[in-house]
Structure 1
Amino acid sequence: MIVQLINQEVSDELLRNMKEQAQEFFALPLQEKKRWAQKPGSLEGYGQAFVTSPQQKLEWNDMLFLKTLPPSIRNQNLWPQKPQKFRETLETYSGDMRKVAISLATFIAMALEIETHEEISRAYQEGTYEVRMNLYPPCPESELVIGILPHADISGITLLLECGDMPRLEALKDGQWVTVLPKHGAIVVNLGHITEVCNI
């Protein structure tokens, strides 16, 4: 299920700053970005997802994947130091997005009259949070590539922020792929498999 959330706890200024920091990071020279490259066998850092062979056909995107909360799971060696305010902005953004996730989980549980909604809130308070940033560069033969393969999120709640001026997210509805057109200042919410399995 995908919804768009407006008037939430994350300020427009912070959303704008996070977009700018992500765009500035991906605009850095390749050698600079490689300072925070993924290590073999890990998704965390800058690179591509699920590269298992030099011969495989890759998705047409660059990615920066970082563990953010709790602070104890962070690998600071992979947190870019450029642009200058990237780390500071990401830390604030992660904390505010966690508040949004906690509120969503709590309200969903209350609406479903789940008696343990306080435990669910605590689980989202104490849970792990990760950020994935994707860049889809122009491709001279765009009909031959795909940005990200069709997939379902396994997380409890995914919060998405579009950074460009062209919508990228598509959702499967009634057997058809539909483009999600984000509203200004909105966070796109996707309930993942864990939420479906737990009926919350």
Structure 2
Amino acid sequence: MAAIAENLESSLPVPSVQELVSQQLHTVPLRYIRDEIISSSSHDDHSPSVPLIDMAKLFHHDSQASELQKLHSACKDWGLFLLINHGVSDATLGNIKKQTQEFFELPLEEKKLWAQKPGTLEGYGQAFVTSEEQKLDWNDMIFLKALPIQNRKLEFWPEKPQKFRETVQNYSEDIRQLAVSITKFMAMGLGLNDQAQEFSQGFQEGTYDVRFNCYPPCPQPDRVIGMIPHADMSGITLLLDATDVPGLQVLKDGQWIFVEPIDGAIVVNIGQIIEIMSNRIYKAPDHRAVVNKLKERFSVVTFCYPNPSVKIGPASELTQSGSPPLYKTVTLAEYFQSFYNRKLEVSFIDCLKI
């Protein structure tokens, strides 16, 4: 890997993993072998279960206090939870799953019509590949800026499958409403009063980027990684498993725990913006994706950011009671600049610590 990435906002072209798999490989090309970061993961009856939060209970007066306490504990102890009764319709979820699978089933030449271009991460390809020697993740993806509408670059938005654009439009609008609601409850969980509205309203006019992932089956699944361990730089990340194949893992007390897909549930993952705004009461967890020997896995991941006018820093209500701020306060533009213009191996959030 190059010692420094001058800018992580673009990525070098790499082979399609789906295409590699279609060649009936028995061994994995050397560039994907990641023995150094594969460690045992927990997938047994003794592992702790990822918290399950019922949004309907958060809205209901009689159950709100107890469910809010569950939410607060999940954000504090895990940084990630499964959300049910979230208000995004089964039809919307079904449509986005279907369109995701149908896009990745297109012939390679058709997918390449929407390929990334130099200087951007948008489009079909791979993210954050900064050198020809860099090890690669076992996935293909397409990344699109969905909201606000003026951020869209339709040159990267597939016209096939036929209803792809319309489906992404509808899904991102519903996800935005979910992000506003769930961040409001997070603010309540933190005990914010004056700033609770500001905390969540920032997401009403926020930025929403969607990444569609395909993790093809792999002949040597224990020697590759679908996505390397990382914490998200978003406010929150909302992930929808488009298949019932487990692949997402979260690091909890030094152990990798599978986030088992639940039909209709959405995974809510705390990003580093909320970690900073909560003054590290809520933590952005390390998570990764592993792959399966026989089955393909698809996921739809929406990165939710607040409005560019929102200052990224510890909420003043949390620092007035004697807890010193742990992070600097920066603009969203400065926050992005810190992320993209850094050494890839440096922990991004450490750059913002006081």
SS at match of 1:125: coil
1:78 and 1:136, CA in 2 relative to 1: closer, same or farther beyond 3 A?
same
Aligned to 1:8: 86
Equivalent-residue separation in structure 2 for 1:143 and 1:120 (angstroms): 41
Which residue, 234, 237, 244 being the options, matches 1:158? Answer: 237
Higher relative contact order (CA 8 A, sep 6+): 1
Paired residue type of 2:106 = L
1:20 matches 2:94: no
2:177 match: 99
Cα deviation, residue 9, structure 1: 1.5
Give the alignment of 1:166-177 within 5 angstroms: 166-177=245-256
One-letter code aligned to 1:157: I
Deviation at 1:36, TM superposition (A): 0.5
Cα shift at 1:120 = 1.9
Is 1:178 matched up with 2:257?
A: yes
Decide whether aligned partners of structure 1 residues 128 and 24 sit closer, same or farther in structure 2, where only a CA change above 3 A counts. same
**Residues 244 and 261 in structure 2, CA contact (< 8 A), matched pair in contact too:** no
Instruction: Give, in whole Å, the separation in 1 of the partners of 2:139 and 2:80.
Output: 23
| Residue type of the alignment partner of 2:256 | W
In the alignment, does 2:202 pair up with 1:123? yes
Mapping for residues 71-150 of structure 1, pairs under 5 Å = 71-114=149-192, 115-150=194-229
**What is residue 195 of structure 1 aligned with on the other side?**
274
Distance 1:65 1:14 in 2: 19
| C-alpha separation in 1, matches of 2:265 and 2:196 | 25
Bigger mean CA offset, 50-59 vs 150-159: 50-59
> What amino acid is aligned across from residue 177 of structure 2 in structure 1?
K
Distance across 1 between alignment mates of 2:261 and 2:220: 26
Aligned residue for 2:23?
none
5+ unaligned residues in a row in structure 1: which ranges?
none
3-state SS of 2:251 partner: strand
Q: Which runs of 5+ in 2 are unaligned?
A: 1-78, 283-354
> Secondary structure of the residue that 1:54 maps to in structure 2?
coil
Among 44, 58, 70, the residue aligned to 2:148: 70
Structure 1 SS opposite 2:119: coil
What residue number does 1:35 align with?
Answer: 113
Name the CA distance, whole Å, in 2 between partners of 1:98 and 1:56: 35
Looking at structure 2, the residues matched to 52 and 99 of structure 1 have their Cα atoms a distance apart, in angstroms, of 35
RMSD: 1.2
Task: Give me the whole-angstrom Cα distance separating, in 2, the residues matched to 1:140 and 1:182.
Answer: 23
Which consecutive aligned stretches of 4+ in structure 1 deviate over 6 angstroms post-superposition?
Answer: none
Secondary structure of 1:149's match?
strand
The structure with more radius of gyration: 2
AA matched with 1:39:
K
Shift of 1:144: 2.5
Stretch moving more, 131-140 or 84-93: 131-140
Question: Which residue in 2 is equivalent to 1:48?
Answer: 126
1:122, distance to aligned residue in structure 2 (A):
2.0
Aligned counterparts of 1:144 and 1:40: Cα–Cα separation in 2: 30
CA drift of 1:174 comes to 0.5
Partner of 1:57: 135
